[in-house]
Amino acid sequence: MAIRRFFLVFGTSLWLTVGAGALGPAARADLSPNLMLQGLSSSSLAQSLPRRLLRAPLRVAAGLSPGLLLASLSLAGGAFIALIWLHLYQQQRRWQRVELARQEVKAFRERPAVKNVLDILDYEEYRTFYINHPKDGRLIDFEATDYRLRRALRSHDQMVKMRSGLDEIKRLTSQNAAIAPKTLELVQQYDNEEFIIETTLRDWFDSFLGGLEYFEILIESGLVMAEEIKPFIIYWINLIGDRRYRRKGGSGFYDKLFHYIHWAGYGRVQKLFERFGFKILPPPYSTHDFSGIDLEDDSKYDTYRALCLAKAAHLVYEDRDYVTDISRLWLSDDIDNRWKRLSNRQYVVEVIKDWLREGEETSERDIRNNFKYLNMLITDTQAFMFRKGDNLILVFKGTQQLSDWKTNLKIRLKEFTVLADQEAVPPTGRVHRGFLDAWQSVEKQVIYYLRKWWTPETKLWVTGHSLGGALAAVATIALETQGFEVSGLYTFGQPRVADWKLVNYMNARMGDRIIRYVNNNDIVPLIPPQIIPWVPTRVYGHMGQFRYFNDAGTLRRQSFMTQRFPDRLLGIIRAILTSGTPDAIDDHKMEFYVANLQKALDREEEEAKLEIEQGLIAGDFVEGMKERMRARRSSLEG
């Protein structure tokens, strides 16, 4: 590269130094356009012109004075030295930045608190930690279990409520209030040890997250580049952001950690994770989810319904115990943030009760009439189904492990068949062999519970992400064929599942009941390719309506290729500039779908509020309310 730059600079400097005036008469004659006037044919001119142009610089150099030639050589040599110096300077600066990153990461790792957090994250949650009691100095040993970590990462208001409740109970004890001895003993034990352990763990994580914030500040300030610090910290990023690196059974802890990052204001930690392709999504689950998803299909309820189903498609990736806990939350009549309604002492009692129950084996017995988790080990297919009111939700797990990708790669098409009901007439057309095999491994179980829970008022919703979306699509075809009407199929980042014959059949049958969401440069919806080279007569297609999230995460209910192409190109460029890699894989992550749908719903609710305010100003809203009141009064009188 340096040699090419040298010759480029040398040639340029030679021509600039000489100028047109330095050309001798012979050279000017060689380069003159009067060659066309000397009787040369076009063919002879074409043959002679390249040779003349090549000889011209040599003739120019021969006609130069020694002084001009020396000046040209000096200029070229100076430029060459400047390029070499610039290259060495850039290399030196890069090594300085890398050394700075190495030193900062080393100092970060040497902090005792950070070292303890890294040990906890690095599959060592059951090792024993030791701390000194802040009052009497005695040694306290403990294990950083998931239950303890979740309590330590509660919100600030919950910790204040806990501290206030403990103080109130101690004050009542000093006033000789009637408190059961066993209760008082448990409260003192919690206050003297457990609460101190919780605050210590909290301090450790604050130190760790503060260090990650500092790394993002280094990148934003230009002191280091993202690709230079990435090798030093990417393992920790993966331990938190990538489900494949998390320890088994820790879903509740990770969700609580994400919630802590959000409410505690660690915005740069979120930016750092997004820089490397991960979305820190706080637990999106609420007791209000799935309430009213069967209302009229206008845009607001369509987005709300899609968000609820996206939460389920996100939840199915977690471990079974956590899926059961959140499903229990959805099925309960409880309210969000119930702890806010408790007094300080009541809250302390509730926490201590949960503390005493920690470690007990969880059971699905209390919700077994409305919840079922399906796990087929042979095909590594997981799903769960639950019913809330008249709504029955079926959720399939997507691509995460190597065995899941093996299912994706079985791209040969085969005739669609129904396994559970041999009398059902399957639709004509072919379907992805791997997806059909995976669905049929759980088909009989799904049909059993559908028949058990089905009522004339039941509305069935099917959803999934990635491979889970493909299984949801195949399941919908099978269920519709067997007489179970699917009220809606919502998929996220779903690959193609069937040929155009079957796709056209399902589009004609279900119409707008199939909704397919794609996030910007998500690559999975592009596979398998529409045309398989070795079977050109079979063409893959997508079912249903298409919804698109652009590079900014804004929902587009209608979009055209001419709109999506520049937007996707912009997304690729932004991702390369931010993290150094394209975003084809990062955009596939389910966290981005949930976040973008929540953003779309918030925007629609704001627009609805604005519309109501405008109606109030115009008086239309009041008149509409009066008209509805009159109609209701007349119906009651009738």
> pLDDT digit string (tens) for 53-95?
445 555 655 666 777 777 777 787 888 888 888 888 888 888 8
- Cis upstream peptide for 426 (omega within 30°): no
Residue 126 has pLDDT above 80, yes or no: no
Task: Classify residue 632: in a domain, yes or no.
Answer: no
User: Could you give the CA distance from residue 8 to residue 18 in angstroms, rounded to a whole number?
Assistant: 16
Contacts of 204 by beta carbon, 8 Å cutoff, 6+ apart? 113, 114, 116, 117
State how many domains the chain has. Answer: 3
Report the sign of the C-alpha dihedral through residues 527, 528, 530, 532, in that order. Answer: positive
Which CATH number covers residue 401? Answer: 3.40.50.1820
One domain, residues 87 and 134:
no
CA 293 to chain centre: 24
Task: Classify residue 284: in a domain, yes or no.
Answer: no
Residue 483 has pLDDT above 50, yes or no: yes
Per-residue pLDDT of 313-323, as tens digits, reads 999 999 888 99
Query: On the CB side of 153, how many CA atoms lie within 13 Å of its CA?
Result: 26
Q: What is the mean pLDDT of residues 391-400?
A: 87
Report the sign of the C-alpha dihedral through residues 355, 358, 360, 366, in that order. Answer: positive
- Say which residue the tokens 């309430």 belong to: 291
Q: Please state which of the ranges 15-24, 351-360, 361-370, 626-635 shows the lowest mean pLDDT.
A: 15-24
Percent of the chain residues past pLDDT 70, beyond the cut: 79
Contact between residue 255 and residue 283 where contact means Cβ atoms under 8 Å apart: yes
Q: Please state which of the ranges 217-231, 370-384, 410-424, 510-524 shows the lowest mean pLDDT.
A: 410-424
One domain, residues 251 and 387:
no
Task: Classify residue 291: in a domain, yes or no.
Answer: no
Which runs of consecutive H residues, i.e. helices, occur in 441-560?
Answer: 443-453, 467-481, 500-510
DSSP 3-state of 245: helix
Q: Please state which of the ranges 358-367, 399-408, 442-451, 581-590 shows the lowest mean pLDDT.
A: 399-408
DSSP 3-state of 110: coil
pLDDT-derived band at 139, boundaries 50, 70, 90: very high
Task: Classify residue 590: in a domain, yes or no.
Answer: yes
- Predicted confidence at residue 34, as pLDDT, reads 44
* Higher per-residue confidence, 110 vs 125: 110
Residue 24: C-alpha distances to residues 32, 50, 528 (Å): 12, 19, 67
Neighbours of 282 (CB within 10 A): 16
Q: Please state which of the ranges 15-24, 276-285, 503-512, 534-543 shows the lowest mean pLDDT.
A: 15-24
- Predicted confidence at residue 486, as pLDDT, reads 93
Q: What is the CA radius of gyration of the chain?
A: 34
Q: Give the chain's mean pLDDT.
A: 81
One domain, residues 115 and 96:
no
From 101, 136, 156, the end of a domain falls on 101
Q: Please state which of the ranges 270-279, 373-382, 575-584, 617-626 shows the lowest mean pLDDT.
A: 617-626
| Residue 61 lies in domain | 2-101
Contact between residue 564 and residue 520 where contact means Cβ atoms under 8 Å apart: no
Q: Which of 450, 500, 440 is nearest to 474 (CA)?
A: 440
One domain, residues 165 and 80:
no
One domain, residues 96 and 232:
no
Considering the entire predicted model, what is its pTM? 0.76
One domain, residues 382 and 503:
yes
One domain, residues 24 and 125:
no
* Higher per-residue confidence, 8 vs 550: 550
Task: Classify residue 501: in a domain, yes or no.
Answer: yes
* Higher per-residue confidence, 587 vs 196: 196
- Predicted confidence at residue 153, as pLDDT, reads 94
Which runs of consecutive H residues, i.e. helices, occur in 110-134?
Answer: 112-121
Residue 29 has pLDDT above 80, yes or no: no
From 80, 101, 122, the end of a domain falls on 101
Q: Which of 3-7, 15-19, 284-288, 614-618 has the highest mean pLDDT?
A: 284-288
- Predicted confidence at residue 20, as pLDDT, reads 41
Task: Classify residue 57: in a domain, yes or no.
Answer: yes
Task: Classify residue 350: in a domain, yes or no.
Answer: no
Local structure of residue 247 (DSSP, 8 states) = P
pLDDT-derived band at 125, boundaries 50, 70, 90: low
Task: Classify residue 35: in a domain, yes or no.
Answer: yes
Residue 454 has pLDDT above 90, yes or no: yes
Q: Per residue, what are the HEC states of 6-31?
A: HHHHHHHHHHHHHCHHHCCHHHHHHH
One domain, residues 484 and 380:
yes
pLDDT-derived band at 38, boundaries 50, 70, 90: very low
DSSP 3-state of 105: helix
One domain, residues 465 and 423:
yes
β-bridge pairing 498-499 and 545-549? unpaired
One domain, residues 79 and 218:
no
pLDDT-derived band at 564, boundaries 50, 70, 90: confident
One domain, residues 68 and 196:
no
Contacts of 114 by beta carbon, 8 Å cutoff, 6+ apart? 108, 204, 207, 208, 211
Residue 1 has pLDDT above 70, yes or no: no
Residue 2 has pLDDT above 70, yes or no: no
Q: Which of 105-109, 118-122, 299-303, 395-399 has the highest mean pLDDT?
A: 105-109
Percent of the chain residues past pLDDT 90, beyond the cut: 34
Q: Burial level of 479, CB count in 10 A (0-12/13-18/19+)?
A: buried
Q: Burial level of 310, CB count in 10 A (0-12/13-18/19+)?
A: buried
Local structure of residue 235 (DSSP, 8 states) = H
Q: Please state which of the ranges 82-86, 125-129, 215-219 shows the lowest mean pLDDT.
A: 125-129
One domain, residues 405 and 523:
yes
Q: What is the mean pLDDT of residues 611-622?
A: 66
Q: What is the mean pLDDT of residues 345-367?
A: 85
- Predicted confidence at residue 516, as pLDDT, reads 94
